[in-house]
């Protein structure tokens, strides 16, 4: 028996290399030239289509943006795992990133905010 369903994301996380999470804002602070890896998981049946959105515009695969995903249809309900990797981040990569999952039973979206800052530098003494 299949359960026809699309639940809210079970997991949406960001793994920054060269940054940290500020829970007060809440925002992920990332240093330029670092990489971001977003992980988004849904429980669903049938398999959802997943789109990554940055500041309201769908992310397109490029040399800096890679999207991968798989669907495991293990009873009683399937699980979709999707990753978005952004390499060599620059200030224009700041903003809101959303993972949007859709199937014939609905859609769910979750969003995180990222702020890219300049590289840390050591100043010479005066």
At 50 the pLDDT is 92
**β 106-117/27-45 pair status:** parallel
- 103: CATH: 2.60.40.10
- For the chain, how many structural domains are there in total? 1
At 54 the pLDDT is 97
Structural domain including 84 reads: 5-117
At 3 the pLDDT is 41
Residue ranges of the chain with per-residue pLDDT less than 50: 1-4
Whole-prediction pTM value? 0.80
| 84 within a domain of the structure (yes/no) | yes
Long-range CB pairs of 89-96 (<8 Å, 24+ gap) are 89/30, 89/31, 89/32, 89/33, 89/34, 89/35, 89/36, 89/116, 90/32, 90/116, 91/32, 91/116, 91/118, 92/116, 93/30, 93/36, 93/54, 95/54, 95/55, 96/53, 96/54, 96/55, 96/56
| 29 within a domain of the structure (yes/no) | yes
| 126 within a domain of the structure (yes/no) | no
| 125 within a domain of the structure (yes/no) | no
At 34 the pLDDT is 87
| 123 within a domain of the structure (yes/no) | no
At 73 the pLDDT is 85
At 17 the pLDDT is 61
| 11 within a domain of the structure (yes/no) | yes
| 124 within a domain of the structure (yes/no) | no
| 122 within a domain of the structure (yes/no) | no
């Amino acid at each position: 028996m299949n359960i026809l369903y699309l639940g809210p994301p079970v997991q949406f996380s960001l793994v920054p290399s060269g940054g940290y999470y500020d829970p007060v804002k809440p925002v992920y602070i990332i240093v330029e030239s670092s990489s971001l890896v977003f992980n988004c998981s849904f429980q669903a049946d049938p398999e959802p289509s997943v789109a990554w959105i940055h500041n309201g515009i769908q992310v397109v695969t490029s040399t800096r943006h890679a999207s991968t995903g798989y669907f495991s249809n293990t009873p009683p309900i399937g699980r979709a795992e999707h990753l978005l990797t952004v390499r060599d981040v620059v200030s224009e990569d700041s903003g809101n990133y959303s993972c949007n999952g859709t199937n014939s039973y609905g859609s769910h979206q979750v969003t995180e905010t990222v702020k890219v800052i300049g590289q840390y530098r050591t100043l010479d003494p005066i």
